[in-house]
Structures are given as C-alpha cells and as structure tokens.
Amino acid sequence: MLNFIIPFMVLILVVVFIHEYGHYYFAKRYGVGVTDFSIGFGKEIFGWNDKSGTRWKICWIPLGGYVKFFGDRNVFSQADQDELLKKYKKEDQEKLFVTKPLYQRAWIVFGGPLANFILAIVIFIFIYMFIGKDFTTAIIGEVQKDSPAEIAGMMNNDVIVEIDSTKVDSILDVSKLIAMSTSEYIDFKVLRYDQEILLKVKPNIVESVDNLGNKINKRMIGIRLSPYNNEIKHVKLGPGQALKHSLNEVYFVASSSLKYLVSMITGSGDTSQLGGPIRIAKISGQVAEFGIIPFISMMAYISISLGLINLFPIPLLDGGHLMFYAFEKILGRPLSQKTQEGFFRIGMFLLLSLMFFATFNDLKDLGLFQ
C-alpha cells in the first residue's frame, strides 16, 4: 500500500503546490493580501506563518489546494465588493482581490494553470536535454493478415510520417497517436518508395493490458513496427530544440485531452478510461517502480491535465472565474452576488457528478464492480 501512497502524495504535493504558487505569485505581484496557502483541504496537519502573515499549511484531504485572499469569505474566493469596502479601511482595501483591475484578477486566476504548464515544459526540457528524445523512424515491419491495416492498404516497409495530421518523429509516437485518436477512422500518411500515400484505417477496439498490467480498451490496427536496420536513434537535444519539442508535447497532450473529453460528451469516446484519485495513486505507484525519470514524466502529464481541467468554464474552477470576468468585461460590471452563487451551485453539482463518475470507474478498475 505504501508503494502507492507515497508516490501519490509526492505527485500531488508537487503538482498542487506549483498550481497554487502560480496564484500566489501573481497575487503578491499585484499587491493582493494572501491569508492562507494550503495543500489539501479540511483540518490542518501542520503549518507556519510567514512574515507577511500568510499561513502555509498542509491539510488532511490531499485532493487539491487553495490560496485564500485577504477579505475572501471562503476558499473559492467569493466576496461581496460593496460589503468589503464598508468593512475595511482605505489602506486595507488596497490588499483586497476584488478591488484590483480586471486584467490583474485574470492573471492571478490564470497563474495557477499557467504554472502547471510551465512545470510540464521544464520537466520535458530536462528530460530531452539530459536523457534524450527518441527519433527512430517508424517503419512497418509486418502487417497482420486481415487486420485493419491490411484492409486499408498498408504494406511492409511503409514509413509512417503522419497520423491524423500530426507529424510522427519517433517509432514511439505511433502507439501514442493511435491511442489518443477519437475518430472512427485514423488518417495515416505513409512513405512508400519515395511516394506519400494517404490511408484511412478503422481500428479494432481490443481489451488489452498496458505496460503496467492495467486492463484497458486499446485501439489496434494490426501492425508491428521495426527500426530501420535495427538502429535506434536517441538524441540529447540542445536548449532550443528541447524547448520546441516540450511546447509541442504540452500542446499535443492538451489538445488530445480536449478531443477525448468532447468524444465522451458526444458518446463516441470510451468513458471507462476516465479515472480519479484512486487510479492516479495506483498508476503513480506502478510508474515509480520503473524509476525517477518515468515518474517525473508522469508528473508532467498530470500537471498538464490539472492545468487544463482548471481552465474549464465551470464555477469553482479557475476557468469559471475567468468566465465571470469575461461577462464583467462585456457587461461593464461584475455579475451580481446572487447570480454568481447560482453558478457556483451548478459548478458544485457538475464537479461532484464528475468525481462520483471517476471514483466509480476507479473502484470498478479495482474489481469492486463487475
């Protein structure tokens, strides 16, 4: 059990701390008072006060965190501006979040997801510069008989150069791009005798087991890849190239995740793959057994996911606050407190529903539901 709990706690501690520090950094930059910086929710385990009066603490429920601003009624940064202006003196009003210009409030809110994306970029840059990145050409060594690939016209020795308009840089990209595809047909561009050929392949959905031993529904097209002349091309990149490929990876993960979520909403995606904290804890423990590099790689992907999810326009999330600010910009005034509270109730319902669904999938994955 500890081999799951400890990696999960480390993962959550780092990713959530970075997210909340993004909010904290911009809040301090714009002169907003911060009363609490918490990792986790509920009762405090331990903490300390810094010189500015901020209480830094770790709490018992490790499912997120929060930065509470001076004058906020709760951890969701709800506050009534008129009420606060009456309550505080002029010198204290300057520390209130709600009195700051719209662009400053937007940057403070966006700072959390931005910090998550930056963390992922830094991790990828480190890996690409000091460990390296694979650039082995993706050559088809075998096309299985009667497979989707054979039906579509793929042949031995075809070089896969694009999948769904995404360039294939490495033999490792192929399985990733096939897995992340959400459409009925996958578009392939292959190179055959110096001629580019476009093929549409309809994958089979097969119940399989991933490298960690977890059951998954896998999209299979029936090919075996092999390096050209059995040569593996693994290159350590310079800073510029490492940054370029890191940005590409963050963009790919974020855009693919959005496509997957849209496919689930429309009913074409596999909802069984949506997991919550239990599955993350299980996988983090499994990945940690492979070493520090796979573990920090997973941390980068979780950080991207956390940043992306928080940008969804759902009240209680950062994206919900940004949505309110968009309304404020259009209307020329903030939404009324009553309207915001109505949206917050809707947001709470949506988040609890999503948490329930993800937890059900987690428990099902553990074999509690058949």
Would you please indicate which residues are annotated as catalytic (active-site) residues? 20
Distance between terminal CA atoms of the chain? 23
DSSP conformation letters of 35-80: EEEEEEEEEEEEEEE-TTS-EEEEEEEEEEEEEEETT-SSTT----
Phi, psi of 36 (to 5 degrees): -140, 140
Report which of 71, 73, 56, 75 is spatially closest to residue 17, judged by C-alpha positions: 56
Angle at 310 between CA 358 and CA 307, to 5 degrees: 100
Are the C-beta atoms of residues 162 and 169 closer than 8 Å to each other?
no
CA 213 to mean position of chain CA atoms: 23
Are the C-beta atoms of residues 66 and 54 closer than 8 Å to each other?
no
Are the C-beta atoms of residues 123 and 300 closer than 8 Å to each other?
yes
